[in-house]
Amino acid sequence: MGDLHHPLQPGDPAPGFTLPAANREGGMVSLADLRGRPFVLGLFRGLHCPFCRRQVRQLADMQPTLRAAGVETVAVINTPVERARLYFGYRPMPLLLLADPDCRTHRAFGVPRLEFLPEGSSEVPQWPSRTRMADFEAARINPTGELPQPTQPMAANAALNAQDGFELDDADSAIMASHATQLVGHFLIDEAGIIAWEHIEAPDGPSSLCYFPDAAEITAAAGSLGR
């Protein structure tokens, strides 16, 4: 099993998980249910993150191409299942959506979450396990090109939510309060349950936050299976 600062790597077995499906009535989905066919697994923040909502849509749009290559697509959203069912009921997605409000799956795969050093600390930052709030505040991002200019990450988040007309409800606000610093991870898992490829958000520091693998990168990873 991974830890919060050392994500699982290619060659590692994927850890077991069992989560409720947000776009399938009733029932739970486990790693055992998914074995036998490769799949791309995206581990996302909650619905409060507009960049994650966009990436889920991108994965959904990619599903026909991936399925033609023999690869399924699964997204895990850090949102209570009832909230996820309500949201995606109005915005249906063809890929399998699972809900994990506690980020247990993110932790099992070792997807990091940011931790901020106390103000005035002399400790040397080690991204992403220990970082300075000042460095985070100084970052500027515009990963989708929708903003007029690169913007501080939390301000970018708020700007795109306003643009989308997305209003956080109590469940979204509670998730954001508990898991706002959770990073995003993508994993390609082969038919035997072994990780074949991984991508962790922001490997280079806060200025690469919310930049996720594009369709070409994910398709290339899927195409490498069995070579």
Q: For the chain, which residues make up each domain, given as ranges?
A: 18-112+167-223
Helices (H) and strands (E) in the chain, counts: 8, 7
pTM of the model: 0.94
In degrees and rounded to multiples of 5, residue 192 shows phi and psi of: -90, 0
| 136 alpha carbon, distance to own chain's centre | 19
Integer CA distances (angstroms), 214 to 40, 62, 99, in order: 13, 10, 23
* pLDDT for residue 122: 87
Classified as helix, coil or strand, 204 is coil
Contact 186, 213 (CB under 8 A): yes
Nearest Cα to Cα of residue 139 among 212, 200, 205: 205
Topology of domain 18-112+167-223, CATH: Glutaredoxin (3.40.30)
Distance between CA atoms of residues 33 and 189, nearest Å: 13
Tokens of 52: 């994650």
Distance between CA atoms of residues 57 and 49, nearest Å: 13
* pLDDT for residue 115: 92
Residue 21, beta-bridge partner list: 98
Distance between CA atoms of residues 49 and 103, nearest Å: 14
The stretches in the chain having pLDDT less than 50 are: 1-2
- pLDDT tens digits for 56-96? 999 999 999 999 889 999 999 999 999 999 999 889 898 99
* pLDDT for residue 222: 87
